Structures are given as structure tokens and as C-alpha cells.
């Protein structure tokens, strides 16, 4: 595990499994909840992706990044997808309980955004920072209002993973000789064109920690009479986010509503109203053959769904800020770290010295929903 200066790793024993976390040297383990920030990574990644932002956050905060089960240094226990992402959120809860943290500011990226929204439904939180989050209605298979397209969620879940990409994860492929190599997928899906980093190999290392054992990534599938011919099974990472298992739109009804920052890139290839990871959209583009048309299999309007739910959250008394970063992809904390840090510190109510701003801050489009 490649750790940056000032970052340490340790394993926390919980009743369910051993969980790896990253921390910063010098952080106060007795820091109060209002000074504690917990970072939750997304799919096919790990806590290693958070290290730059961990280094950049103010020293008087306590910052912790958690590896979800089957990723990073955490045990590779099977994921019961019929519980949605609750296996993941329950593991986060057990980890924070073992650390003696009753509540914290939670940050979730992509699938991790879904995990922290589920966590907020089940446990107290101080704030939520949602970076490129999965739609509150899951990934794939829904109309804008969240209603399901088919009774079996055809085209969603484990069967949608590219088998060559999965094999290259198994083989720990570090090349860029094919569109399905993890390195190529990082550059085509995780970030916008033009991104470069001296830490590229660390981000690849993080992706390659993904467990492909039974019950982990991507998950099982069953045959379907509906296009494109498969439906999700009951175990594995991708099946946690299919509509029948995942719906966190209930955050609208939380009696105590933590403030929310929604940070996204305007050219995100993964979470989008025109996602290149949505088989219905690929069918519309004739990349996947046999598409039955928009009446039967419309592309999922992921960003619009998130905005609708957060609009309703605000209308019910919550405070929401949307930060849309022009020209940024799926990973604002890598691609626009100054802007990401500014938005995070704002939503947690940080009152210390403000972070330095860069000229790129002018590229931010900020809309407060109230």
C-alpha cells in the first residue's frame, strides 16, 4: 500500500470484519465530532484515492478514510446485495463505533455517496458531502421519478460489468494497451480528458485492490426475458445499487436534516443523464444492439434524479449547495482539489483559517438550493 507523507494505515477490529483505515499523523484521536471528517470511497477504488485531500485539509481537523469491504486493506467479505448498500454502511457504523466516534461529517464519492446517504437514514450525521454520487434511486433501470422500468431490473447489476475489465482486475493489469485495462478505464471514466498526476500509479494500485471473489465485484446475474437479456442476482457490489435493492430518497423525510454539499463535474462519464455506463444509453447510441426504444428502456437521468431529491430535501427544510465544476469529470477531489476543499469546509462549518484559493475557482458554478 503506497502511503503519502503524513498518512498512516491501521486495521480496526469490528464484530463483522477487520476494516482498514487511513489517518493523518498528528491528528487528535480525541477530536470532537464537529471536527471529524470521514471519507468513503467509491466502486473499484479504495481509501488511497483520498490521500491528496487528506494532506490538504486543515491540521485542526481529524480526517479518516475507510476501506469498504472487498476494497483496499479491508477484509473481502461477501456483500449481500438484497440489503442495498447496508452491508457497507453498517461496516462504516461499526468502524466509527470502535473508534468511539458517535457522529461525524461524512464524505462519499460515487457509490460511497450512496453509502453515506444510507448511513444518514440509519445513524446521526453532522453533514453530508456527496461527490459524483450514485442517484438516490440506484444505478440504471429507472425513470426520472424513480419508478422501475422492469420487475426484474433488466440490464442492471453484475451482468453489466465488462468481463475483460474484470479479468484484467484479476490479472492486476497495469498496462494501457486496451480500453478495458484499469488504467485506460481510469482515464476514460474517472477523470476528464487532460488530467495528469504524478500519482497515477497509486490510483491504479487502488483500483487493483478490488476483490473479484464470489460476492464482491461485480456480482452475479440471471437471465431475463427483458432487454438486454440479463437481470441482477443477489450478491456482489453492482447488485447493491439496482433499483429493487437501493432507494435512499427517504433522506427527504429525515426529521433532523444535516446540511448537504453536492459536488459534481459537468463532464462526468459515469454519473450523468447520459452515462456511458448505462446500458440503456449505450443502446440508444446503438453501441449495444437491439435497444427497444425510449418508451421501454430510457436512459437513466441520474443527475436530474439527484437534483429532484435534493430539491425536495431543501423544500422540506434542509440546506443543500450544488457545486458544478465546469470541465471536470467523476473525481473533483483529484481534478479540482481547491474547489472541492472549499465546498467541504463550507458545509462542515469550518471556522479556522480559510483555504487558499486558486484562479481556477472562477470555473465553479455554485447554486444554493433553498
CB 240 within 8 A of CB 81: yes
Q: What is the pLDDT of residues 249-275, one digit of tens each?
A: 999 999 999 999 999 999 999 999 999
Mean pLDDT, residues 198-227: 98
Window from 205-214, 335-344, 348-357, 361-370 with minimum mean pLDDT: 361-370
pLDDT, residue 354, reads: 55
CATH code matching the domain that covers 7-153+246-369, chosen among 3.40.50.1820, 3.40.50.300, 3.90.180.10, 3.30.930.10: 3.40.50.1820
Task: Check pLDDT > 50 for residue 364.
Answer: no
What does the alpha-carbon distance between residue 53 and residue 314 come to, in Å, rounded to a whole number?
28
- Grid coordinates standing for 238? 453492482
Beta bridge partners of 127: 105
Span 22-47, average pLDDT: 98
- Give the strands of the sheet with 7-13, arranged side by side: 7-13, 18-24, 62-66, 36-40, 105-109, 127-131, 260-265, 320-325, 364-369
Task: Please name the residue that has the C-alpha cell 480559510.
Answer: 354
Q: Is the pLDDT of residue 28 over 50?
A: yes
Q: Mean per-residue pLDDT for 163-185?
A: 97
Q: Please give the share of the chain, as a percent, with pLDDT higher than 70.
A: 95
Q: Given a cut of 60, is residue 11 above it in pLDDT?
A: yes
- Yes or no: say if 127 and 143 are a contact pair by the CB < 8 Å rule: no
* Average pLDDT estimate for 133-162: 98
Backbone angles phi, psi at 36, to 5 degrees: -110, 125
Which is nearest to 224 in space by CA: 152, 127, 311? Answer: 152
Q: Residue 1: its pLDDT value, please?
A: 86
Whether the per-residue pLDDT at 327 is higher than 70: the answer is yes
Q: What is the pLDDT of residue 351?
A: 86
**Dist. CA 52–CA 57, nearest whole Å:** 9
pLDDT at residue 359, rounded to an integer: 42
Closest by CA position to 268, among listed 218, 312, 323: 323
**pLDDT averaged over every residue in the chain:** 95
Which residue is listed with cell 418508451? 295
Amino acid at each position: 500500500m503506497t502511503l503519502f507523507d503524513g498518512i498512516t494505515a491501521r486495521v480496526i477490529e469490528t464484530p463483522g470484519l477487520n476494516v482498514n483505515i487511513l489517518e493523518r499523523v498528528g491528528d487528535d484521536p480525541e477530536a470532537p465530532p464537529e471536527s471529524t471528517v470521514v471519507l468513503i470511497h467509491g466502486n473499484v477504488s479504495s481509501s488511497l484515492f483520498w490521500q491528496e485531500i487528506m494532506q490538504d485539509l486543515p491540521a485542526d481537523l481529524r480526517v479518516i478514510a475507510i476501506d469498504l469491504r472487498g476494497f483496499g486493506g479491508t477484509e473481502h467479505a461477501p456483500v449481500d446485495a438484497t440489503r442495498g448498500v447496508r452491508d457497507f454502511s453498517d461496516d462504516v457504523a461499526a468502524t466509527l463505533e470502535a473508534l468511539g466516534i458517535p457522529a461525524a461529517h461524512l464524505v462519499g464519492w460515487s457509490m460511497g455517496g450512496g453509502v453515506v446517504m444510507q448511513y444518514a437514514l440509519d445513524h446521526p450525521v453532522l453533514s453530508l458531502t456527496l461527490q459524483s454520487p450514485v442517484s438516490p434511486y440506484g444505478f440504471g433501470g429507472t425513470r426520472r421519478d424513480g419508478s422501475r422500468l422492469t420487475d426484474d431490473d433488466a440490464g442492471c447489476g453484475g451482468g453489466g460489468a465488462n468481463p475483460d475489465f474484470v479479468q484484467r482486475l484479476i490479472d492486476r493489469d497495469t498496462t494501457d494497451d486496451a480500453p478495458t485495462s484499469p488504467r485506460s478505464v481510469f482515464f476514460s471514466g474517472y477523470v476528464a480528458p487532460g488530467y495528469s498526476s504524478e500519482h497515477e500509479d497509486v490510483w491504479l494500485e487502488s483500483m487493483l485492490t478490488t476483490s473479484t471473489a464470489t460476492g464482491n465485484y461485480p456480482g452475479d446475474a440471471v437471465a431475463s426475458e427483458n432487454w438486454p437479456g440479463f437481470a441482477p442476482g443477489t450478491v456482489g457490489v453492482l447488485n447493491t445499487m439496482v433499483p429493487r435493492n437501493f432507494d435512499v430518497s427517504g433522506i427527504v423525510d429525515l426529521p433532523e436534516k444535516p446540511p448537504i454539499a453536492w459536488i459534481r463535474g459537468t463532464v462526468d462519464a459515469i454519473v450523468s443523464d447520459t452515462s456511458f455506463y448505462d446500458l440503456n444509453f449505450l443502446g440508444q447510441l446503438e453501441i449495444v444492439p437491439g435497444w427497444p426504444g425510449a418508451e421501454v428502456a430510457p436512459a437513466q437521468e441520474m443527475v436530474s434524479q439527484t437534483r429532484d431529491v435534493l430539491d425536495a430535501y431543501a423544500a422540506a427544510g434542509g440546506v443543500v449547495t450544488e457545486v458544478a465544476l465546469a470541465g471536470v469529470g467523476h473525481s473533483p477531489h483529484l481534478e479540482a482539489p481547491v474547489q472541492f476543499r472549499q465546498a467541504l469546509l463550507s458545509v462542515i462549518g469550518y471556522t479556522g483559517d480559510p483555504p487558499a484559493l486558486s484562479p481556477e475557482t472562477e470555473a465553479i458554478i455554485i447554486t444554493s438550493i433553498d
